Amino acid sequence: MSDAAQPTAAEVRAAAEAVKAAIDRHLDAVERRTGDDDPAVYEAFNSLAAAAEVYDELLYDRYDEVTPFEIPGVDDSLPPYAGPAEPSALSVLIRRDYAVVEPPRLLAQAQRLADIDAGPGADGYTGAVVGTSVHSALGVLFGEYEPDEIASRHKEFGLEEGDSTLWVSAAEALPEPGEWLGAPFEDADPELVVCRFDVSAVFDEEELDEELDEPAAGRA
């Protein structure tokens, strides 16, 4: 980088002061937080991470030095929270993806459940309930077990996990009974999300790439 393009010492100093101020704001938010998922703490964390990243870049550009901190990426997957400060209600939105990798196992498990439901006095014929239909088998399976149990036992049912996400969304009040049943996810507003939790193989791949990029300990 040419001298003309380098940041000035004053710019580096200003970035350092911005980090100090962001630390104070983050600590203040933590001390005043109202719960484990306080949006003010979340916002202060992202602001601190962004300020530290700017300082790290300017420090390197000016002095060819780095900070000893690993700067986490700022979570910009959601817009800033714009919901009520004290939510009176909440919605939990869940999506879990599965691949049907072993249809025979899925069909066998569903048939077993259908046989149990038929009871010992039945004639034992439940082929019409499940048969060879994956569609019917899924209906039996998800009608019997809660989603969390299926998630924890998915391999038993011939399923393979894909990505999943859980959104906790704030609201002023509960909707009227039956109000959203026709389109349950249509009104999901990212600005009302208090917190979200994502699970994806892509995160594991990113961590592996980072580990491979790091030099081996003790390597000359």
Q: Half-sphere exposure of 215 toward its Cβ, with a 13 Å CA cutoff?
A: 4
How high is the pLDDT of residue 94?
92
pLDDT tens column, 119-134: 665 555 544 467 788 9
How high is the pLDDT of residue 186?
84
% of the chain residues with pLDDT over 90: 37
pLDDT tens column, 31-65: 988 877 678 888 888 888 888 888 988 998 999 88
Average pLDDT of span 142-154: 92
Whether 13 shows a pLDDT value over 60: the answer reads yes
pTM: 0.55
Whether 218 shows a pLDDT value over 70: the answer reads no
pLDDT tens column, 167-201: 989 988 898 999 999 998 887 888 888 888 888 88
Contact of 56 with 34, CB cutoff 8 Å: no
Q: Half-sphere exposure of 180 toward its Cβ, with a 13 Å CA cutoff?
A: 10
Average pLDDT of span 86-98: 91
Rounded-to-10 torsion of CA 38, 40, 42, 48 = -150
How high is the pLDDT of residue 210?
59
Contact of 190 with 79, CB cutoff 8 Å: yes
Average pLDDT of span 86-109: 93
